[in-house]
Amino acid sequence: MHATAPPPARTVLSPEVAEALSAGRPVVALESTLLAHGLPRPDNRAAADDVEAAVRTGGAVPATIAVLDGVPHVGLTAEEVDRVCADPDLAKLGVRDLPVAAALGLSGATTVSSTALLAAAAGIGVFATGGLGGVHRQAVDTFDESADLTALSRTSLVVVCAGVKSILDVPATLERLESLSVTVVGYRTTTFPGFYVADSGSTLDWSVADPAQAAAVFAARRALAPGAVIIANPLPVDEQLDPALHDRVIAGALAAAEQAGVRGKDVTPFVLDHLHRASEGATLVVNVRLVLRNAELAGQIAAALAEDVR
């Protein structure tokens, strides 16, 4: 008779997050892949504190999410953030990877898809990130499409972002989001942002004027059917990356990835590292700036949602 493996440990909530959720106070989920794979060391550690502080400025409790030794953690201690930011071998975990990490006791940083899943399961309704994954260029040949899209189609929460990552096929990504019935609205704009730049060249049908309207859209969506509401929050034009520099470094980064034979989930960290070096750090500055803006707005939306419940 074969021994039965013990079930994986349940999700651990930090004391602050657990207390906030129990009391009905606003909480905002934050991904850890940004820290482990999106920003260079040691800048990532300072950014982690700044992003959590921005959520607090918006009026909510931050809940950075990661998997440590097979256990999902919603809300990290300072020591746990240190671990996520310092480990160069930390795995990148999407939804499909969570069972493997849980069963084998592995650690990893959560992507948009897995962060959304774990946040919603914990009862968190708002999530702030930088840019979503989506349909990659040449997807017609490679079928390379981020799991973020399907995950958001079946997960009920608000996602505040600066659009999708610039290396992607933006029009194709928006088409897929429409096909998946994911609600996408601009924040004070009908222009879909291009991550590092304010305008991706694509437009949106809908916009909201303030956090209360964003919260109302999500409340209406949640009452109708499962699925996310994406709030696309563009950088102000005077804070964006220079568009000419943007186009030049993106083209160079994609060419370098192709030449190096980088594929799948390794493309994004490879390209982000190339962009940082090719732009002499300019993309890093803009990346952190947009994440901070998204985190603060997410805090405001979470606070508005909490007010509606009371």
In degrees and rounded to multiples of 5, residue 188 shows phi and psi of: 60, 30
Rounded to whole angstroms, the Cα distance separating 238 from 208 reads 21
Question: Contact 159/152 with Cβ under 8 angstroms?
Answer: yes
Q: Is 23 exposed, middle or buried (0-12, 13-18, 19+ CB in 10 A)?
A: exposed
State the burial class of residue 309 (Cβ atoms within 10 Å of its Cβ: 0-12, 13-18, 19+).
Answer: exposed
CA 181 from centre of chain: 19
User: Cα Rg for the chain, rounded, in angstroms?
Assistant: 18
Give the other-Cβ count within 10 Å of 42's Cβ: 10
**Residue closest to 159 by CA, chosen among 200, 119, 209:** 119
Pairwise CA distance, residues 95 & 49, whole Å: 25
Q: How far apart are CA 71 and CA 60, in angstroms?
A: 24
Question: For residue 130, what are the CA distances in angstroms to 101, 127, 259, 260, 306?
Answer: 24, 10, 27, 26, 23
What is the DSSP code string of 215-253?
HHHHHHHHHH-S--EEEE-PPPGGGSPPHHHHHHHHHHH
Positions annotated as catalytic residues are: 31, 165
